[in-house]
Amino acid sequence: MSSFNHTKYRPFTPVALENRTWPDQEITTAPLWASVDLRDGNQALVEPMTVEQKKEFFKLLVDVGFKEIEVGFPAASQLDFDFVRWLVEEDQVPDDVYIQVLTQARPELIERTYESLKGAKKAVVHVYNSTSTTQREQVFRLDKEGIKQIAVKGAQCVKDHAEKNPGTEWVFQYSPESFTGTETDYAVEVCDAVIDVWQPTPERKCIINLPATVEVTTPNRFADQIEYFCRHVKNRESIIVSLHTHNDRGCGVAAAELGLMAGADRIEGTLLGNGERTGNMDVVTIAMNMYSQGVDPKLSLGDMDRIVSVVQSCTQLPVHPRHPYAGELVFTAFSGSHQDAIKKCLANQTDDKAWDVAYLPIDPMDVGRSYQEVIRVNSQSGKGGVAFALEQEYGLALPRWLQVELSPIVQRFSEEDGGVVKSADMKRLFEESFMTASAPYALGNYELSKKDHDSVTAELTHKDGSISIEGEGNGALSAFTTALSNHFGIRVDIVQYQEHALTNGSDSQAIAYIQANIDGDRFNGVAIDNDIVSASIQAVLATVNQKVASTNEQANVA
Ligand code: KIV
Ligand code: ZN
């Protein structure tokens, strides 16, 4: 029996919308983007940003490509006022960027807001008042007409001040705050009244911003509200319909996406989703979602590490390791089957083909992440991940049969060490397990000759001196195997063999991988040398050394 009393809550009342068209729409172009990191995001911080942090964040926003940046609430905060003055007086705003400032629809605040903007080249003055039933009835105790008049007077005041300051290119923006909790037809009525004051034209549009101040319903219901609004608002061709979603139900991005399909032109949000309560809609996620569908988001998000680092240091909020597109672990596969699939798909991926890699919705390289980070090996990982790491980092293309042998060794190490295994550790385990051609015996001089058969004479050195071995066979490897069998009194059969040139940093070297059956036991040897014959016979010697070592060990135990 649940201890929750769900009867305490009422379901959302949806707007009546017939023949909705948004479900059939696609997002094919980027919207106009407006950042509210320095206002909504900043207002929501435990410790608001310092001027220095705001400067650094502003620079990031410009570099990312925002053309509209809400820089503060100057009438409410001296720090914001000073920051706006710094931007204007120090000529910090690029010519194609509008700085945006927020103000309530109150004459004294609007006046102070304009004071902060004196001398700005381009500015959006964003005025708002709250219109929802909850706010009307309980906070303002005004009827619908009273609330509408606040909006109208605010709009008039904004217009009057702009006319007194003709040196700036002004854009007006109005938000019916708590739009999602407002009867949609009434929201249209209030916005129409504001539009009547501003008299926008297709050449000089105004912005009507529809905030999901609190996200109160599913994204489809929000999309209905937006489509209803776009159908009914007057002078639609002279209006930029903007969305400002919050994430109370965890659907801020989804709501904004459906809102775009429903007819909106512009999106407000923050980088990585900082903002009141659960945050504003995350611009990184929505823009990267577009990018992953082949749509140019018109934002530069390629240096994701810089974005994460500036956002974290300015907001003092961590970015979750699983944050879409930006988190430290979002392109990382730990599971063996995922690693295997990624490795195979990456091997097939070429520059002329559309991206098609299992488990990776985008190419991690596009956001500055490397393939090394894609596959991380822990105790859950399989052979694919280990092989991928060794190939990417060291150019070692392990044959499948050797991957099968190495994987449990790495897995054991991860279990004992308790975590992610570094590539360097994988290489060390690989070398310790298989590259055993130097002890107890190492290859000294050797000579190959060919008469009826291939024959080999080789010197093997060990800690007490050296020995000479001889053998014949069909080919150098077979002759060397016979020589070892003869000398040690064992039977050595090569069951697997592979070699390749090493490209990573050592142009002229070759690596040989050998699996041998020695007296019924399986051993794997690997060796690197300047020529492939030397590498191959040393790889055989590596297997024999393992056999000798295990025999000695057994003798010691006995
Ligand atoms: O969430 C909101 O409603 C706002 C408005 C001021 C646009 O931030
Ligand atoms: Zn907000």
Give tens-digit pLDDT for 438-489: 999 999 999 999 877 889 999 999 999 999 999 999 999 999 999 999 999 9
Sign of the alpha-carbon dihedral angle for 99, 104, 110, 116 = negative
pLDDT of residue 558: 61
Q: What is the pLDDT of residue 122?
A: 98
Q: How far apart (Å, rounded) are the C-alpha atoms in residues 124 and 70? A: 8
**Bind-site residues for Mg(2+):** 40, 244, 246, 280
Q: Please determine, for residue 507, whether its predicted confidence score (pLDDT) is greater than 80.
A: no
pLDDT interval class at 508 (50, 70, 90): confident
Contact in structure between 58 and 295 (CB atoms under 8 Å): no
Strand blocks (E) in 131-202: 169-177
Q: Is 13 contained in some domain?
A: no
| Domain at 116, CATH number | 3.20.20.70
**Domain coverage including residue 536:** 442-557
**Number of the ligand 1 atom closest to the C-alpha atom of 40:** 8
DSSP label of 319: P
Query: Tokens for 376?
Result: 């991380």
How many C-beta atoms surround the C-beta of residue 336 within 10 A? 18
Domain-located, residue 491: yes
Q: Tell me, yes or no, whether 30 lies in a domain.
A: no
Q: What is the pLDDT of residue 345?
A: 95
Residue numbering of the annotated binding site:
40, 244, 246, 280
pLDDT for res 145 = 98
Helix (H) or strand (E) holding 262: none
Question: What CATH number is associated with residue 509?
Answer: 3.30.160.270
Tell me the DSSP string of 48-104: PPPHHHHHHHHHHHHHHT-SEEEEE-TTT-HHHHHHHHHHHHTT-S-TT-EEEEEEE
CA angle centred on 13, ends 12 and 14, rounded to 5°: 105
**pLDDT higher for 94 or 454?**
94
Gyration radius of the chain's alpha carbons: 34
Of 139, 175, 180, 209, which is best to mutate to test ligand 1, by the most ligand atoms within 8 angstroms of its C-beta?
175
Considering the entire predicted model, what is its pTM? 0.82
Cα separation of 361 and 117, whole Å? 43
- For residue 80, the model assigns a pLDDT of 97
Angle between helices 400-417 and 383-394 (to 10 degrees): 100
Residues with CB under 6 A from ligand 1: 40, 102, 128, 175, 177, 209, 211, 213, 244, 246
What confidence tens digit (pLDDT) does each residue in 304-323 have? 999 999 999 999 999 999 99
CA angle 460, 464, 468 (to 5 degrees): 25
Contact predicate 29/265, CB 8 Å: no
447 and 428, same domain (yes or no): no
Q: What mean pLDDT do residues 22-43 have?
A: 98
Domain end (from 380, 412, 434):
434
**Whether residues 62 and 81 fall in one domain:** yes
Q: What is the DSSP pairing of strand 122-130 with strand 98-104?
A: parallel
What's the chain's average pLDDT?
A: 95
- The residue ranking higher by pLDDT, 498 or 557, is 498
Is the pLDDT score of 154 beyond 80? yes
